[in-house]
Amino acid sequence: MEKELSAEQIQAFLQGISVPPQPQIMVDLQFEQYMPNPDLKAIARLISQDPGLSGALLKIVNSPYFGLANRIGSIQRAVNLLGSRSVINMVNALSIRGEMSDETIVTLNRFWDTAQDVAMTSLTLAKRIGYESVDEAYTLGLFHNCGIPLMLKRFPDYMTVLEESYAKASGEQRIVDTENRLLNTNHAVVGYYTAKSWNLPLHLCDAIANHHNALAIFAEDNDRDAQLKNLLAILKMAEHICRCYQVLGNQSEDHEWQSIEPLILDYVGLSGYDFESLRESIRDLGAA
Range of the domain at 280: 102-285
Residues 70 and 122 grouped into a single domain: no
Give me the number of domains the chain comprises: 2
Residues 266 and 229 grouped into a single domain: yes
Average pLDDT score, the chain? 88
- Please name the amino acid found at residue 280: E
- Please name the amino acid found at residue 66: F
* pLDDT of 287: 53
Query: Distance between CA atoms of 82 and 78, rounded to whole angstroms?
Result: 6
**Chain segment 25-60, per-residue pLDDT in tens:** 988 888 887 777 878 888 899 999 999 999 989 988
Residues 113 and 78 grouped into a single domain: no
Flag whether 2 is in a domain: no
Q: For residue 41, which phi and psi values (nearest 5 degrees)?
A: -65, -40
Percent of the chain at pLDDT > 70 equals 90
- Please name the amino acid found at residue 227: Q
Largest CA distance in the chain: 57
What is the average pLDDT across 241-248? Answer: 96
Which residues is 170 bridged to in the sheet? Answer: 173
Query: Distance between CA atoms of 55 and 73, rounded to whole angstroms?
Result: 10
Task: Name the domain boundary from 80, 95, 110.
Answer: 95
Confidence of residue 215 (pLDDT cuts 50, 70, 90): very high
Identify which has the larger pLDDT, 105 or 99: 105
Residues contacting 110, CB < 8 A, separation 6+: 159, 247, 248
Q: For residue 170, which phi and psi values (nearest 5 degrees)?
A: -170, 140
Query: Does 4 have pLDDT greater than 70?
Result: no
* pLDDT of 13: 65
pTM of the model: 0.86
Confidence of residue 1 (pLDDT cuts 50, 70, 90): very low
Task: Name the domain boundary from 42, 68, 95.
Answer: 95
Residues 117 and 203 grouped into a single domain: yes
What is the average pLDDT across 224-244? Answer: 94
Picking from 214, 210, 206, 203, the residue whose alpha carbon sits closest to that of residue 237 is: 214
Residues 88 and 198 grouped into a single domain: no
Which residues is 173 bridged to in the sheet? Answer: 170
User: Is the backbone of residue 187 left (phi > 0), alpha (psi -120 to 50) or beta?
Assistant: alpha
Flag whether 166 is in a domain: yes
Confidence of residue 277 (pLDDT cuts 50, 70, 90): very high
* pLDDT of 217: 93
Residues 260 and 138 grouped into a single domain: yes
Task: Name the domain boundary from 44, 67, 95.
Answer: 95
Residues 42 and 75 grouped into a single domain: yes
Query: Distance between CA atoms of 246 and 72, rounded to whole angstroms?
Result: 32
Residues 75 and 107 grouped into a single domain: no
Residues 133 and 270 grouped into a single domain: yes
Residues 64 and 121 grouped into a single domain: no
Flag whether 1 is in a domain: no
Q: How many CB atoms lie within 10 A of CB 200?
A: 27
Q: For residue 173, which phi and psi values (nearest 5 degrees)?
A: -85, 110
**Chain segment 54-100, per-residue pLDDT in tens:** 998 998 888 887 888 889 888 988 988 888 778 887 887 776 555 67
Residues 58 and 111 grouped into a single domain: no
Query: Does 210 have pLDDT greater than 90?
Result: yes
Query: Does 261 have pLDDT greater than 70?
Result: yes
Spell out a b/e string for 156-181, using b for 16 or more CB atoms within 10 Å of the CB, else e.
eebbebbebbbbebeeeebbbebbee
What is the average pLDDT across 181-203? Answer: 93
Flag whether 171 is in a domain: yes
